Amino acid sequence: MEVGAVGAMRFVKDGIRAAKLVMQHTQHTMLVGDQASAFAISMGLPGPSNLSSPESMDKWIKWKENHCQPNFRKNVLPSDSCGPYQYHIKDSIDYDKTCSVNNLMQTYGSVTSHVDRHNHDTISMAVFDRMGHIAVGTSTNGACFKIPGRVGDGPIAGSSAYADNEVGACGATGDGDIMMRFLPCYQVVESMRLGMEPRLAAKDAISRIARKFPDFVGAVFAVNKNGKHAGACYGWTFQYSVKSPQMKDVQVFTIVP
Give the integer Cα–Cα distance in Å for 129 and 134.
7
160 touches 138 (CB < 8 A) = yes
Give the integer Cα–Cα distance in Å for 21 and 213.
35
37 touches 75 (CB < 8 A) = no
- Cβ-Cβ contacts under 8 Å for 170 (sequence gap 6 or more): 126, 136, 161, 162, 163, 184, 185, 186, 188, 189, 201, 202, 205, 220, 221, 222, 223
**138 in active site:** no
Measured CA distances, 168 to 3, 52, 190 (Å)? 16, 37, 9
Measured CA distances, 51 to 7, 14, 22, 114, 196 (Å)? 16, 11, 21, 23, 42
Choice among 98, 107, 122, 254 that is catalytic: 122
> Of 187, 252, 175, which is closest to residue 219 (Cα–Cα)?
175
- Cβ-Cβ contacts under 8 Å for 57 (sequence gap 6 or more): none
Catalytic residue numbers read 122
